[in-house]
Amino acid sequence: MAESEVNPTGSDLHLDLSGEGSVRSRLMGALREAVRSGRLAPGTRLPPYRGLAADLGVARNTVAEAYAELVQEGWLTARQGSGTRVARRVAPLRPDRPDRVDDPRGLPRRRVLHDLAPSSPDASAFPRSAWRASVRRALTEAPSEAFAAGDVRGRPELRTALAEYLARARGVRTDPERIVVCSGFAHALMLLGRVVEGAVAVESFGLGYHRELVAQAGLRTVPLTVDAGGARVGELAGSGAATALLTPAHQFPLGGALLPERRAEVIDWARARGGLLIEDDYDGEFRYDRRPVGAVQGLAPERVVYIGSVGKSLSPALRLGWMVLPGFLVDRVLAAKGPREVWSGVVDQLTLADFISCGSYDRHLRRMRQRYRRRRDLLTDTLARRVPGVRVGGIAAGLHAVLELPEGGEAAALRAARRLGLAVDGLADYRHPDSAMPPREGLVVGYGTPPEHAFPAAVDALCLALSGTG
């Protein structure tokens, strides 16, 4: 296509797309050259991608993806209400300047513009004022001995507050002496890996990192089939496992809650086998279709290790978690932790104890449930309107949804997401390699991470990435 004079308002833009390579790469090269040569001056507004696509006779998605990638590289800027413009800078960026790194799978990982990766809360929503007030009170009231080497279990103020809160809000039965403070779920799992023996049954879809931690402890993992009612715990009897690791409140990532009859069944198995259930209370605080489901631990405190943290309810940066242990495991876990084991900072422990006791934690959770539910509704409504062929599941609780895709759809969506600067996970990465369940294709989409003002744009990018998946 012949080049013409560039209208400085950006309303007309004709480019030479001749040459080799894909249409998108040729379009990006032509735009870079126009900026580099000075024909497109800094601040020049480019035509909307629909208009330019019509002028060039190419697909709208091609132009949108080219614009998005050039924004990532720094050639263009995009702001709501201002359109896409040539970036203002002293000198143009070199086209070969590295702006990406390779991920372990060999796929290019570009700078993230829209973060919809699961399992993270909205960092901008951290309750700074209430937390600051709790810090002041905690430091004012803390005894001097709190700042010496203390109980390896963790500060008694926090363990006492947790025992009361977990009994009230999650149906956990315990006392402070059976609670051990740790730095999060992974830390708890590493400690348990040192004290349990035999194979560990895990859900066929779950975090590979957790399976790796179990394997690093020298323990074999056995996959259990997962359906809409959670793990099929009836398979435990023939699995040879002595321990089961489950997410009963909201199976991660598929999203089902463990059915009542399966809760009873796993407890019967543990008592008959002398086995142990490790209960990851994943998303226990964030349920939208009804009141939160109580912890399985309440049914059999002597056979269940209950693990929770503030990683999603407050912030993963706090590095605060807890284990509620059966009596026979307390000394073993404390020995594994060791008197010089790295533990969470005492000021954060004291602060969280006050934050829970004064009611700030409950108020924060209620506020965040409302916020995340609105996001979930916006996500599902937008997908239903713009990508009606995509089935959305796992949305009764938590901060993520699973988008089921047809064969080939996952890889195509992930490629488009990378081009758009969209961070999102593929469902295939969560499947246990030894699972008998057939592979499933889809995306695991987190709706917790972006700040409020950025969430609609992230959903828009997601719809764009999905638009060609069928």
Q: What pLDDT digit, counting tens, does each position of 224-256 carry? A: 999 999 999 999 999 999 999 999 999 999 998
For residue 433, is pLDDT > 90?
A: yes
Residue by residue, what is the 3-state secondary structure of the chain?
CCCCCCCCCCCCCCCCCCCCCCHHHHHHHHHHHHHHCCCCCCCCECCCHHHHHHHHCCCHHHHHHHHHHHHHHCCEEEECCCEEEECCCCCCCCCCCCCEEECCCCCEEECCCEECCCCCCCHHHCCHHHHHHHHHHHHHHCCHHHHCCCCCCCCHHHHHHHHHHHHHHHCCCCCHHHEEEECCHHHHHHHHHCCCCCEEEEECECCHHHHHHHHHCCCCEEEECEECCEECHHHHHHCCEEEEEECCCCCCCCCCCCCHHHHHHHHHHHHHHCCEEEEECCCCCCECCCCCCCCHHHHCCCCEEEEEECCCCCCHHHCCEEEECCHHHHHHHHHHHCCCCCCCCHHHHHHHHHHHHCCHHHHHHHHHHHHHHHHHHHHHHHHHHHCCCCEEECCCECCEEEEECCCCHHHHHHHHHHHCCEECEEHHHHECCCCCCCCCCEEEEECCCCCHHHHHHHHHHHHHHHCCCC
Contacts of residue 57, defined as CB under 8 A and 6 or more positions apart, other chains included, come to 1
More confident position, 103 or 16: 16
Task: Enter the tokens of residue 292.
Answer: 């939160």
For residue 259, is pLDDT > 80?
A: yes
Chain-centroid distance of CA 414 in Å reads 16
Q: Rounded CA gap, 59 and 23, in Å? A: 9
Cβ 424 vs Cβ 386: under 8 Å:
no
pLDDT tens for 181-208 read 999 999 999 999 999 999 999 999 999 9
Q: What is the number of other CB atoms lying within 10 angstroms of the CB of residue 198? A: 14
Q: Rounded CA gap, 227 and 244, in Å? A: 17
pLDDT tens for 24-78 read 889 988 898 888 877 888 888 898 888 888 888 899 989 988 998 888 777 888 8
| Cα distances (Å, whole numbers) of residue 119 to 72, 249, 328, 352 | 24, 15, 32, 21
Nearest to 111 by CA among 97, 123, 125, 121: 97
- The pLDDT of residue 100: 38
Strands 304-309 and 321-324: antiparallel
* Whole-number average pLDDT of the chain: 88
Q: Which domains does the chain have, with CATH numbers?
A: 23-97 (1.10.10.10), 114-124+363-466 (3.90.1150.10), 127-358 (3.40.640.10)
- The pLDDT of residue 148: 87
| Cα distances (Å, whole numbers) of residue 26 to 33, 47, 48, 106 | 11, 17, 18, 24
Strands 276-280 and 304-309: parallel
pTM of this structure: 0.76
Query: Which of the four pLDDT bands, split at 50, 70 and 90, describes residue 98?
Result: very low
Nearest to 180 by CA among 328, 319, 333: 333
**Of 93-102, 343-352, 397-406, which gets the smallest average pLDDT?**
93-102
- The pLDDT of residue 156: 96
For residue 126, is pLDDT > 90?
A: yes
pLDDT tens for 361-378 read 999 999 999 999 999 999
- The pLDDT of residue 87: 84
Q: What is the mean pLDDT of residues 122-140?
A: 96
